[in-house]
Amino acid sequence: MSSELIKDLLFNTALLLIISIVYNLFFIRFNSRKKWVEVVLGLFLGGVGMLLMMNTVSFANGIIFDTRSVLISVSGLFLGYIPTIIATLLISIYRIYLGGGGALTGVLVTVTSALIGLIWYKYRLQKILKKQNQIWPELYLFGLLVHIAMLVCMLTLPNQQGMVALQAITLPVLIIYPLGSLLLCLVMIQGLKNREAEKNLRQSRENYKHLYYEYQKKESLLRSLLDSLPDLVFYKDKECVYLGCNKAFEGFAGKTMDELVGLTDFDIFDLEMATLFRKMDLIMMNEKKSRRNEEIVTYPDGREVYLETLKTPYYDHNGQILGLIGVSRDITDRKKTEAEIIYLGQHDALTGLHNRSFYEKERKRLDHPDYLPLSLIIGDINGLKLINDAFGHGEGDKLLISIAKIMEDCAREQDVLVRTGGDEFVMLLPQTSYRQAGALVEKLKIACDEGYKLENELIITSISLGYATKTREHQLFEKTFKLAEESMYRKKLLEYKSFHSAIMDSIKTTLFEKSNETEEHAERMADLAKQLGRVLGLDQEELVSLELVATLHDIGKISIDSKLLKKNSPLTEAEWAEIKKHPEVGYRIAQTVPELRKISEYILCHHERWDGKGYPQGLKGEEIPLLARILAIVDAYDAMTQDRSYRRAMSQEDAIAELQCHAGSQFDPTLVAVFIDDVIEKNSNAGD
């Protein structure tokens, strides 16, 4: 049972009870047997029912809950046919107007509640009124029966919504609504008894005292209910002087009710807040209708909260306003959530800059003669995909954040800075000439060349920037955007090779630092691979590719934790699975660099086996590219014949024996034979 649901139901019940007080102050004084009074009373009750439906507990698909069942059933019990029928018609018409999946069910609940009330009116009202005490069990039973019938009506909801609604609402309905019906019945009965007491006041002072104490008792029940509400409840006279409040309001104001009575807002709050409250009170009483407001207020302990306040006027029997009743709810959490939603709707979550949605609105706003000349800077980060693939998305995010901070630092107060895509940024520069935009671009380039210190780490940044300026009103903004974009792409072509070369040098350096692989190992592999390639008759272009892939075949290991790469003990299954990802990572890195794209397939396949048991694709035999098969042999041979931290080097004879042992399973047997006979043996003979 949701606490929010209980709060909403209690709020709705309290609203009904407050309105019942207004009824007792006004209608109870009229002769209810007069037809025009009954009609007016029916219209009043219909209006109250509509008000209750404006303060509902809502579910999906237009299903709502409120206390109109309490209102209509009690109306039927005490007020008879004409007021109840008129109120039922008005409430039903308004519920149908509201629509939603629960409209017909809502009408059925209203009609059922009215019928039960009218049956009680016909057969039980006079007996109830004649009872001196112990009337509450029957009234409670009456309220319970009305709301059991209400829950049965929920079964008419479509598409299993009835069962969902019953699961959520049954317990609070059976607890709160019968009590609300009981209290409302007691208030109505008390009103009737008070009227009778006024007639008999001169005849029996003792009877007057009895009724007075009975009223006090029921008022105590009402106060207990109000004090149990977390919402702030208060009431004032027409001079805006406090007459009473509940416990929650005492905590808000920092004073007891006895201390509050007789004070005004100017005695409790600061001048600004008190003036605001007085203004809202006067507007509400002048308009003579309920008013809902939201305001930020400060508690005595210094906390600032958002309050949503419903203020309702109440009247005497002549229709003159006596004062107002207010109910305030703390909506701070809701407001914070709304603010977060608005922020996220306009900002990029990673960099904190505005997003494309905000850009579109600002573009339309600034595309106006008042902001001419309007300049535009478009930026595209260099090598973001390469950095993501090589170093991981965490490093890519650092680059994005760093460039965003640089651009934010360089932007002026009136400029609009937006991240429009993954690696794209746009700056709108109102009242900025082409020359001024160029100066800002130079400032950005200098700042990017210096890098950005993020969390004590210097981030190397590079972004290609283009710009253009709209100088005339009839000039299309789209054309200006295209000119800036073309300018950016020209810069990107000029800067591309140098930046990617720097990134590749960084990748190779990082690779040799992180793993057991060394630059010497790569050079030896390249030399052995080229020797075998020449024996096999490869052309010059293939030999260049073979040398390149020998140097960069393990480039994917840059994404693996260095502790794992240098681990001397056996790898766990999970660690081995991580290691086996490096051919695919290396393939993606090579695909992002045009100069390496032609060797990306060899990097991907350099751990495939002749028998098909390799990874990542499980290729078999000659399905494996020739250069990848050559690389596998020379890599294994060089690794076996060199010292490692976890073992000593094998002799040449043992390494040859190992290659021959795995020829036909791990390695291409033909290539193994050629490698041994025409490369290893030849090198040995040349050494002799």
Q: Report how far apart, in Å, the C-alpha atoms of 476 and of each of 246, 372, 376 are.
A: 63, 12, 13
DSSP state of 455: T
pLDDT band at 611 (very low <50, low <70, confident <90, very high): very high
Summarize the confidence of residues 247-253 as an average pLDDT: 84
Cα-based distances in Å from 83 to 34, 80, 94, 342, 351: 11, 7, 16, 47, 63
Given a cut of 60, whether residue 183 has pLDDT beyond it is yes
Q: How confident is the model at residue 630 (pLDDT cuts 50, 70, 90)?
A: very high
Least-confidence region, from 312-321, 448-457, 481-490: 448-457
Q: Residue 1: pLDDT band by 50, 70, 90 thresholds?
A: very low
* Cis before 616 (ω within 30): yes
pLDDT band per the 50, 70, 90 thresholds, residue 70? confident
Whole-angstrom distance, CA of residue 171 vs CA of residue 96: 26
Q: Where are the beta strands (DSSP E) in 38-137?
A: 57-58, 64-65
Q: How confident is the model at residue 468 (pLDDT cuts 50, 70, 90)?
A: very high
Q: What's the burial of 331, exposed, middle or buried (CB within 10 Å: 0-12/13-18/19+)?
A: middle
| pLDDT mean over 492-499 | 60
Residue 315 in 3-state DSSP? Answer: strand
Looking at the predicted structure, is the pLDDT value of residue 221 above 50? yes
Confidence of residue 322 (pLDDT cuts 50, 70, 90): confident
And the tokens for 506?
């960084």
- Of 415, 419, 461, nearest to 440 (Cα)? 415
More confident residue, 315 or 59: 315
Q: What is the pLDDT of residue 492?
A: 75
| Local confidence band at 440 (pLDDT 50, 70, 90 cut-offs) | very high
Q: What is the pLDDT of residue 430?
A: 94
Which residue is it, tokens 């208030």? 187
DSSP letter string over 326-361?
EEEEE-HHHHHHHHHHHHHHHB-TTT-SB-HHHHHH
Which of 43-57, 93-107, 435-449 has the highest mean predicted lDDT (pLDDT)? 435-449
Per the DSSP assignment, residues forming a β-bridge with 467 are: 377
Rg (CA), the chain: 41
Alpha-carbon gap, residue 444 to 427, rounded angstroms: 12
The string of DSSP letters for 3-22 reads HHHHHHHHHHHHHHHHHHHH
| Closest by Cα among 518, 502, 519, 507 to 390 | 507
The token pair at 511 is: 């690779």
Contacts within 8 Å (CB) and 24+ apart, 586-592 = 586/552, 586/553, 586/554, 586/555, 586/556, 586/557, 587/556, 588/389, 588/556, 589/386, 589/389, 589/390, 589/507, 589/555, 589/556, 589/558, 590/552, 590/555, 592/383, 592/385, 592/386, 592/389
Phi-psi region of 148 (alpha: psi -120 to 50; beta: other; left: phi over 0): alpha
Cβ atoms of 347 and 358 within 8 Å: the answer is yes
φ, ψ of residue 38 to 5 degrees: the values are -65, -40
Residue 376 CA to residue 470 CA, distance in Å, equals 8
383-425 pLDDT per residue, tens: 787 777 767 788 888 889 999 999 999 999 999 999 988 889 9
Q: With pLDDT > 90 as the criterion, what percentage of the chain qualifies?
A: 19
For residue 375, name the pLDDT band (cuts at 50, 70, 90). Answer: very high
Q: Check if the beta carbon of residue 400 is closer than 8 Å to that of residue 450.
A: no
Tokens 């075949």, residue?
553
In the chain, the largest separation of any two C-alpha atoms, in whole Å, equals 141
Starting at the edge strand found earlier in the chain, the sheet holding 232-237 runs: 242-245, 232-237, 321-330, 304-315, 291-298
Judged by average pLDDT, the poorest of 98-112, 287-301, 342-356 is: 287-301
- DSSP, collapsed to helix, strand or coil, labels residue 133 as coil
Between helix 35-53 and helix 68-79 the angle, nearest 10°, is 170
Please say whether the beta carbons of 327 and 309 come within 8 A: yes
3-class SS of residue 648: coil
> In the predicted model, is pLDDT for residue 79 greater than 50?
yes
d(CA 410, CA 439): 11
The one-character DSSP state at 245 is: E
Q: Are 578 and 564 in contact (CB under 8 A)?
A: yes
pTM of the predicted protein model: 0.44
Spatial separation of the C-alpha atoms in residues 110 and 625, rounded to whole Å? 79
CB 157 within 8 A of CB 165: yes
Buried b (16+ CB within 10 A) or exposed e, 182-214: bbbbbbbbbbbbbeebeeeeeeeeeebeebeeb
What is the structure's pLDDT at 231? Answer: 86
Closest CA to 440 of 361, 355, 378, 499: 378
How would residue 216 be classed by pLDDT, with cut points 50, 70 and 90? confident
Of 147 and 102, the one with more pLDDT: 147
Dist. CA 76–CA 137, nearest whole Å: 18
- Beta strands 242-245 and 304-315 are unpaired
- 8 Å CB contact between 237 and 220: no
